[in-house]
Amino acid sequence: MRIYKVGGAVRDRLLGRPVTDIDWVVVGASAQDMLAKGFRPVGADFPVFLHPKTGEEYALARTERKSGRGYGGFTFHASPEVTLEEDLIRRDLTINAMAEDDQGLLTDPYSGQKDLEDRLLRHVSPAFAEDPLRVLRVARFAARYAELGFRVAPETLELMRQLSESGELQALTAERSWKEISRALMEDQPQVFIQVLRDCGALAVLMPEVDALFGVPQPPAHHPEIDTGVHTLSVLQQAAQHQQPLSVRWACLLHDLGKGVTPEEEWPRHIGHEHKGLELIKAVNERFKAPRECQELALLVGQYHTHAHKAQELKASTLLELLQSFDVFRRPQRFEEFIAACEMDARGRLGLESRPYPQADYLRGAASVARAVAVQPLLEQGFKGPELGEALRLERLKAIKAYKEQQSS
């Protein structure tokens, strides 16, 4: 039995990046050998085992054949006869297809090291096509290593295009796709993920609502970058630069979907895009079973982002309705995330990236005066039930009116 370190651990060590988890491949062993050594099997017929002490993953060297569509459609062939080279050739990228033994000796049959030097994300062999999730993985690696100058090899992009056109991507489960999407959005350059998906035609399959934004113009006075798709990528880039959490990044990606369905004769204006986008945002949310906080924030940002941009012009009653829609009295954090997403939207415009966004503090101030209205005096006056709610609303309205006056003086 020979054991090698493989995949991301080898790649990231060679790149001088921190190694988080280590995957191992075991050559010359059977499942029985592993069980005899105390390893715990991960699944009934999946040749992966967990180390009894470290909990790290040890996979038997295997070749893989495709037997059906999508996940679960794999059959694995693992046996003590499968060589290291046979295992490595069925991996996704050359930079992920290197192995290291316990002496630190590298096995690199597919020139992974050279591709690391050349900054190339290149598939190892046609076996790449066995798992369509790899289209998303490559786009995610492109986002992660963009700052190092990596790009997708043209022949790999072509293969990704063929996979996207084949209909295989539709067979991916929501869970597997979301895992890739959410990890990619948390990279430093998440806009590269979307751009690469677009370049290979995968975006049109996975998120046609986002793909539709490219080529749609906006008024140059507000949006010097003009193109709505380009704007969306910049908003995402800003969100990463400002270290925003996943929910904010997800909301940034989806905030303008309504602009993709504006009739051409109305271009470059997009009246009512906030409302028109809601159905589309809901569809994307549900397609990937995004976590609840991501779904909610995306819908709220979609509906109210232009409110935030015009915060100082809103009537007191509209401001209060906005605060109520966010349930800001009980969920202040979500309102903060909304403000953050709107600020990223404003900054994601060509040449306006560093322009101040006073709307943010203005909205925070309004929320804080509304929140400061005390219930106790109203209870003491004998209000209860719906009357109490109405009295509270009027007090909050008064407080916001006073706030507006104070802010404008």
- Whole-number Å distance between alpha carbons of 192 and 355: 24
Do residues 125 and 96 lie in contact, with contact meaning Cβ atoms separated by under 8 Å?
no
Smallest separation (angstroms) from ligand CTP to the CB of 44:
20
Rounded to a whole number of angstroms, the minimum distance from the CB of residue 183 to ligand CTP is: 7
Using the minimum distance from each CB to ligand CTP, give the nearer residue, 9 or 203: 9
- 88 vs 341, which CB is nearer to ligand CTP? 88
Residue 158 CB, shortest distance to ligand CTP, in Å, is 19
* Whole-angstrom distance, CA of residue 299 vs CA of residue 285: 9
Closest approach, Cβ 278 to ligand CTP, in A, equals: 33
Residue nearest to ligand CTP (CB): 8
Identity at 409, one-letter amino acid code: S
Q: In angstroms, give the least distance from the CB of 163 to ligand CTP.
A: 12
Q: Residue 17 CB, nearest distance to ligand CTP (Å)?
A: 9
Nearer to ligand CTP, 87 or 209 (CB): 87
Nearer to ligand CTP, 11 or 249 (CB): 11
Phi, psi (rounded to 5 degrees) for 5: -80, 135
Which residues would be at the binding site for ligand CTP (CB under 6 A)? 7-8, 23, 91-92, 96-97, 131, 133-134, 137
CB of 18 to ligand CTP, least distance (A): 10
**Contacts of residue 168, Cβ cutoff 8 Å, sequence gap at least 6:** 69, 70, 129, 132
Residue 27 carries which side chain, given as an amino acid letter? V
State the Cα–Cα distance between residues 376 and 66, nearest whole angstrom: 67
We find the least distance from the C-beta atom of residue 110 to ligand CTP, in angstroms, to be 11
Distance of closest approach, residue 42 Cβ to ligand CTP, in angstroms? 13
Enumerate residues 6+ apart whose C-beta is below 8 A from 53: none
Q: Which is nearer to ligand CTP, 134 or 396 (by Cβ)?
A: 134
Nearer to ligand CTP, 56 or 293 (CB): 56
- What is the smallest separation between the CB atom of 139 and ligand CTP, expressed in angstroms? 12
> Of 50, 43, 46, 42, whose CA–CA distance to 24 is shortest?
50
| 91/305 with CB nearer ligand CTP | 91
Rank residues 56 and 395 by Cβ distance to ligand CTP and give the closer one.
56
